[in-house]
Structure 1
Amino acid sequence: MQFTSLAALIAAAAALATSTVATKVTWDSVYDNRKGDLNTVACSDGKNGLITKGYTTFGSLPDFPYIGGASAVTGWNSTGCATCWKLTYKDKSIEILAIDHADEGFNISQEAMLELAGTDGVNAGEIDADEIKLTNIQCGIQDY
């Protein structure tokens, strides 16, 4: 009897160890503004900034409006700047370019949230999605 319980416990622990942990995704319409100034985000200037790579506005970024904050961006000039992420919610996936800091998970444009989770996601204000880090090239950033 004890052997069966131990085997079940080990199997349950193994299943938990291989499951994907979802990340919090919220939205903010500030990232929908094509004329938004990159000087207003954590990934502005500095060695890891987007301005030093020739970008000036949100709309000048190759993945606009699929942009936003990510917890991988720890602050100004973070090495997490311009990282590319695949977010998956149910059966839909999008790529997001990290241009700003988020306290937890991701804070993306409203248009990106609509694409990822539809009006239900926008109305809820927050979803849990799976995340995978991609190469910068997958978000159109080639000079990092």
Structure 2
Amino acid sequence: MLYLYFTYAFFLSTPVLGQMSTFLAYDAIYGDSSCPLSSLACSDGSNGLESKGYTTLSSFSNFPYLGGASTIANWNDPNCGKCCAITYAKNTINVLALDVSEDGFTVSPQAMNVLTNGQASALGRVEVTSAEVPASECGL
């Protein structure tokens, strides 16, 4: 019985596969509903999202949960349109990656405020955990 308890306790403390620790900050550009997708890395090209009918940030059903991710290196990156579950403290949001981010994630101020209970401006940058989830979790 003790063996089963130890195994269970170890399982609960093991991180979720694919989960990583990184940073998150905000940029007002991702909160601007009229921002054209053509100004971001995931606009056109074979991995771009304009060919799927998206034109501005507000054309995404999960606006304002959008932003840049360090997994997107440049224009037309294969990681365009990936959805990530991002957790800070006990809050989790799903963010659609549409652009390059130098260090971790850069999201809309609105998304960071939801994640940090209204503390985006005061905190500026926070350490988070993230994991890729199905694109459907971000409305694609």
* TM-score normalised by structure 1 residue count: 0.82
Equivalent residue of 1:65, what SS?
coil
Counterpart of 2:36, as a letter, is: D
Counterpart of 2:22, as a letter, is: T
1:21 offset after TM fit, Å? 4.7
Q: 1:135 to 1:116 in 2, by over 3 A?
A: same
Equivalent residue of 1:39, what SS?
helix
**Counterpart residue number, 1:65:** 64
Aligned pair count? 125
1:120 offset after TM fit, Å? 2.6
Query: How far apart, CA to CA, are the structure 2 residues paired with 1:121 and 1:32?
Result: 13
For residues 1-144 of structure 1, the aligned pairs below 5 Å read 21-141=20-140
Counterpart of 1:67, as a letter, is: L
Equivalent residue of 2:23, what SS?
strand
Overall identity of the aligned pairs, in %: 36
1:45 offset after TM fit, Å? 0.4
Unaligned runs of 5+ in 1: 1-17
**In the TM superposition, what whole-angstrom CA distance separates every residue of 1:79-136 from its partner, at most 9, and x where no partner exists?**
1100000000011000000000001110000000000012333312100111010111
* TM-score normalised by structure 2 residue count: 0.84
Q: CA RMSD in A?
A: 1.5
Query: Which range moved further: 21-30 or 61-70?
Result: 21-30
Query: How far apart, CA to CA, are the structure 2 residues paired with 1:79 and 1:100?
Result: 11
Query: How far apart, CA to CA, are the structure 2 residues paired with 1:102 and 1:51?
Result: 20
Contact 2:109 2:120 in 1 (8 A): no
Equivalent residue of 2:126, what SS?
strand
The structure number with the bigger radius of gyration is 1
Unaligned runs of 5+ in 2: 1-13
Query: How far apart, CA to CA, are the structure 2 residues paired with 1:61 and 1:119?
Result: 23
Counterpart of 2:101, as a letter, is: A
